[in-house]
Structure 1
Amino acid sequence: MYQHILVPTDGSDGTRQSLTHGLTLAERFDATIHALSVVPEGPLGTLQSDEGHSAAERAVERVEVEATREGVDVVTAVEQGVPHEEIIAYADDHDIDMIVMGTQGRTGLDRVLVGSVTERIVRMADIPVVTVRLSDEIRIEDADEAARIARKAAGAEGYDDITVSDDPHRTSASWIVPLETGSGPLHVHVDAVTSEARVAKGSKQ
C-alpha cells in the first residue's frame, strides 16, 4: 500500500522523531524513504541562504545515514521556496503515498513555523499525513481499542463489512490499523494521544 514515504526534515528534534516513525513504517511496508529539506523564502525564511542550504544538506544526509543503516532505500532532496508548497509539490511529483511530519521544530520561531507548515500540509495534502508529537502522553496503548476506533471511523465514512485484516501497528504516537471492507482494503491512522482517526483514502492500492 505504501511504496514511497516522505519525511520533511530540518534536522531538529521534532523532525528526528518523525524520521524514526517514518523508518519504522518503511521497514514494515518495504517502502522507500524520501528525505526533503526546504530552505524557506520570504520574510519568515532564512536570511543567510548559504547557511540555510548547508543546514538543509546536513539534515537530509543524517536521514540518509540512518536509513542506510536500517537497510531502507532512501532518496534525498533540498529545495528552496515556501515550505508547505514545496512539500506538496514534491509529493505530487514523486508519487508519494504518505507524509510523516513532526509537529514541533527547533525552539523559538522555527518551532512555530514547523507547526504551521504541518497544519497546512494536513489540510492540503490528498494523501495520508501522519503527525508525530514530541512529548504528549500516549492514551491509547491497546491494539483492540485502536481497532475499535478504526472500525468506527471507517463506518462513519460509509464503508461496510468491516473487519481487521492484520494486527494494528503502533509507531510513536500513531496506530495504523489495516481493515478489509466491502469496497476493498483500507488503512486507518489512529492518533494514540487524541483518539482522532483518519481514513487513508488517498493511499495507492
Structure 2
Amino acid sequence: MFELKHILIPVDHSEGSRSALAAGLHLANRYEAIPHWFHAVPTIPQAIRDVLFPYAAMGEDIVEFENELTAYGNRVSERFADDVSSGNKKVPGRAVNGDPEDGIINEINRLGPDLLIMGASGQRGPRANQLGRT
C-alpha cells in the first residue's frame, strides 16, 4: 500500500501556489503526512549587483543583503502558510536564496518527499517563461 509521509509544496505566494498549498494541506491531513512549504528567493542578477554594490568591500554587503532577503522570504512564507492553513496547524518549511527551479530540485533531493504539489504557473502567470527567453 502507498504510504504518504512527506509532501513538498513550493510556494511563490501566487494564487496557484495558494491552491497547491491548500491541496497539500488537505492531503497531509487525510493521510497523516507532513506538509513542507518551500520558497526560493531569486538570486539578484549580476547587473543589479554591479549597480547597487559597486563599492562594497569584498562583496560583504551583497551577502548580508541576500541573507536579509532570505529571512524576509521565510517570514512571508510562514505567514502565507499560516493564512492558508487558517492557523490550525504550523506548517514547516524554509526559504533559500537561488534559482527557483534549481532550489526545488535541491529541496526534493534534500527532503525526499513522497509527493510534490505545485501550481501550474507562478506569480508572473503562464506566459512569463515563454517571453524574452532564448
Q: Normalised by the shorter chain, which TM-score bucket?
A: 0.5 to 0.7
Change in Cα spacing, 1:102 to 1:8, as seen in structure 2 (3 Å) is same
The CA deviation at 1:57 is 2.7
CA drift of 1:93 comes to 1.4
Structure with greater helix percent: 2
Match of 2:18 in 1: 16
Does 2:15 match 1:3?
no
The answer as to 2:95 corresponding to 1:78 is yes
2:78 matches 1:60: yes
1:105 aligns with 2:122: yes
Q: What is the alpha-carbon distance in structure 2 between the residues aligned to residue 15 and residue 90 of structure 1?
A: 16
| Cα deviation 1:105-160 (Å, max 9, x = unaligned) | 2246x9625x9xxxxxxxxxxxxxxxxxxxxxxxxxxxxxxxxxxxxxxxxxxxxx
Greater shift after overlay, 60-69 or 80-89?
60-69
- By relative contact order (CA 8 Å, sep 6+), the higher-ranking structure is 2
Root-mean-square deviation (CA, aligned residues, Å) is 3.1
CA separation in 1, counterparts of 2:18 and 2:102? 21
TM-score by length of 1: 0.45
Secondary structure of 2:112 counterpart: coil
CA contact (8 A) 2:8 2:108 kept: yes
1:7-46 equivalences under 5 Å are: 7-41=9-43, 43=45
Calculate the TM-score normalised by the size of structure 2. 0.66
Per-residue displacement from partner, 1:166-205 (whole Å, max 9, x unpaired)?
xxxxxxxxxxxxxxxxxxxxxxxxxxxxxxxxxxxxxxxx
Separation (CA, whole Å) in 1 of partners of 2:78 and 2:110: 18
Structure 1 pair 104–52 and aligned structure 2 pair: CA distance change class (3 A): farther
Figure out how many residues of one structure are paired with residues of the other and give that number: 111
Listed as ranges, the gaps of 5+ residues in structure 1 are 116-205
Distance in 2, Cα, partners of 1:70 & 1:41: 33
Return the structure number with greater strand share. 1
